[in-house]
Structure 1
Amino acid sequence: MIDTVEIVVQAGNGGDGFLSFRREKFVARGGPEGGDGGAGGSVYLIATSNENTLQHLMYKRRYKAGHGTAGKRSNKHGRNGSDVEIRVPVGTVISQAGGFPQPDSSIDMAEVGMRVLIARGGDGGRGNARFVSSTNQEPLLREAGERGDVRQLALEVKVLADVGVIGAPNAGKSSFVAKVTSARPKIAAYPFTTLEPVLGVVENRRSTFVIAEIPGLIGGAHRGVGLGHAFLRHAARTLIFLHLLDGNGVDPIEDFKQVNQELKLYSPELADRPQLVVINKIDLPEVRARIPEFTEELKDLGVDLLAMAAATGEGIQGVLDKVSGVIAPMGG
C-alpha cells in the first residue's frame, strides 16, 4: 500500500492586462479599451471513496493548472486558466514539505466529497480601461498578471475505520476479517502475511461498522521496526481496538503487554483507547483448556477476556455484539 507521497502543485499565472485605445474613423478620442487578463487556474484536492491508496500519484509528481490569457482590445477579458482536481482517498492528511513555508496545521480529508483549495491561481492583471479617472482619461497603465501559488505537499493516507483489529503477528486477524466481512485478506500460517491495512464492512444485526485489519506489531514498532510506523499511523484512525491474542502462541499475555507498550510509546492517547481483548483459536483443545488461566491473568491487569475461534466461527457472534455495544454510543 502506498500511504505516503510528495507532490508539487503549481497554480496558473494570471494573464496580463491589455493596453489599447479605441480608434475609429469618426471617433477622434475613443478612450481606453484594454481588457483584463484571465485568472490562473487553481489546484484542488478532492476526497473520494474510489481510491484506497496514493498509488495513482506515484507516477506523476507535478501538477500544473492552466495560465490565464492576456486581455484584448475592445474591453475583452482573457480566458481563465483551467483548474486541476486531484483525487485522494478519504483519510488523506495534507501538509507542506520541502523548502516551502510551513502552514499552521495539516488538512485532514476526512469526508467523501471534501474539496480543498491547495494552490490558488493568480488574478488577472487589469487593462488600461480600468485605470480611467477624472484626471486621467487616457491611462497608459496596465497590470501584469499575478503569479499562481506553488506548493510542495506531503500526503499521507490513514485508514478510517470504527474498529482496528490489532495484535501480534499471526494472531488470526486475517481469518477473523475474512469471516465477518467480504474482504479477502491474504491468510497463511506465518507472521507478516498482511503487509497493509485491510478494510471490511461488518453487518451485525441492526448495526453496521467498518473494521480495519492492521498489520502485525512487534517490539520496537514505535521506532519503525518491522511494520511499526505503518501500523501505528493507521491504528490512530480507529474508534476502538479489537485486540486478538494467539491462544496457541508462546505467551499470549506477554504479546498483549508488548502491543500495548508499543501503543503507549508511540502515543499515550492510543494506549488509552478502548480495547476489547479476544483470545483466538479456542477450537484447539490445548487453547480451550487454558481459557481460565488466560482469563485470570488478564483480570489481574483489569481486562475482561472474550474467546473465539476465527477458523470455525465459534464465539464470533458474541464478539461482534460486544463491538456493536461499545461503538454505538461513540457514533460508530
Structure 2
Amino acid sequence: MRVFRGKFRSAVGAIALATAAAAGPVAAPAAAATPAPIQIYGAWHCSDDACTWATVRDMADFDQKNHWLIDRGDGRPSVNLVVLSFVNPLTLLNGTTNSGNSNGVPIGMNSAVVNYFTSHGIRVMLSLGGITYTDDWNTALAQNPTLLGQKAAALASQLGVGIEIDYEQSSSPNVTGLQAFINAYRAAHPYDASGADPTARLTIDVAAGDRWLITLDQYATANWLTTSNPVLDYANAMVPSKQPSAATAESNWQEHLDGKSNYNPAIPPLAPAKFTGGLYIAEGSQVHPECTNFSSSLQNSTGSWLQNAAPNGAGTSTGLLGYMFWAAERPSTRGVTTAPPNSCEGGVGAGATAYSIPTPMPALRQS
C-alpha cells in the first residue's frame, strides 16, 4: 500500500549529507526598508487518492471537498496557484493507457479540474515525478529525455498549464538527461518573463535546504535559476521530513540564499526571487494550524523573514517569491484530508487576506 506518495524528505539522508559537508552558521537576513509582496501562494494538490489522480472526479464532489481553494469565505481564492501532483514521467513517455491513465496522463487531471481553478484566476501546473516515481524518472531520462520533454510540452499545451519538475534522485541524478528534457520543453515553450503564457511556466523542486538533492541543487542553481540567464522560472524549496519550527524553516531557506561554498562543486547562492518555501498543511493524521489557524501558523511567524530575506551573492531584490503548501485534499492513503471539516480557509485563506495575495498571479520578480 502506498502510505505516502509525496514530497517526503529522508531525515537520515539529510543528516548523513550534513555530516559529510557540515554547514556553517546561519546568517539572519538583513531587514528591508519595504517587505517584498508575496507573489506565489500555492498548494500542491493530491486529489482524493493519495496523488494518483487515477479516477475522473465528480465535479460536485470535487467542489465540496476543495471549495476552500477557490473561496476563502468572501468569494476570493485562498491561493493563486495549484499544482496537480503527480504525473509519472515514464508513463507519460510511453503514452500508457490503463485504468488510471490515458495516453500517459492520469485520467483525473483533465480540463474540468483545470478549468475549475483557472476560472477563478488560479494558475494551474502539473507536477512531473514525486518521490514515488524517482526510479521512473531515471528510466525515462535514460531512455529518451528529449521525447519526454516534447510530450510534457504537448501536455502543457493540451491543458493550458505549466510543468513542475519533481525529480528526487539524491544519488547521481541524470542532470544530462534532465538538461535534454528542459531543452526540448523550452524549444516548444520559451522562457516568458511576463508570465502571460501559462505553458511557459517551468519550475523545479529542490530540498528544503542545501543538504539533500545536492547534485541536482548545485546544477539547477548554477545553470537554470540565475537571474542573468534564467532557464527555469523558479524553484520550490520543498517540505522537510516533518513540519519544521519557524527557526528551522528559515535556516533551511537561508541555506539556498547562502549556497555552500565548502561543497565540491560548490552550490552557488540562489536569488530570493528564484524560489518559494514549502510548509505542510496536512501531514499524516494531523491537520496543522497552517491549514486552520493563521495566527498560529508558520506562514504567519515566518512571513516577515520571508518578505525581507536579503540576497547574499545572487539577485538584487529582497524577499522569497512566496509559499507552497503540501498538500490539498488527501496526500496519503491513511492520512487526513483537507476536505471539510478540515478545510483551510482559516489558515491558508486567512493568510491570503493578511498578505494581500494577488489573484491572478502577477508577473514574477526577475532579479
Q: Is the pair's TM-score, using the shorter chain for normalization, greater than 0.5?
A: no
Q: Name which one, 1 or 2, has greater alpha-carbon Rg.
A: 1
* Structure with more helix by fraction: 2
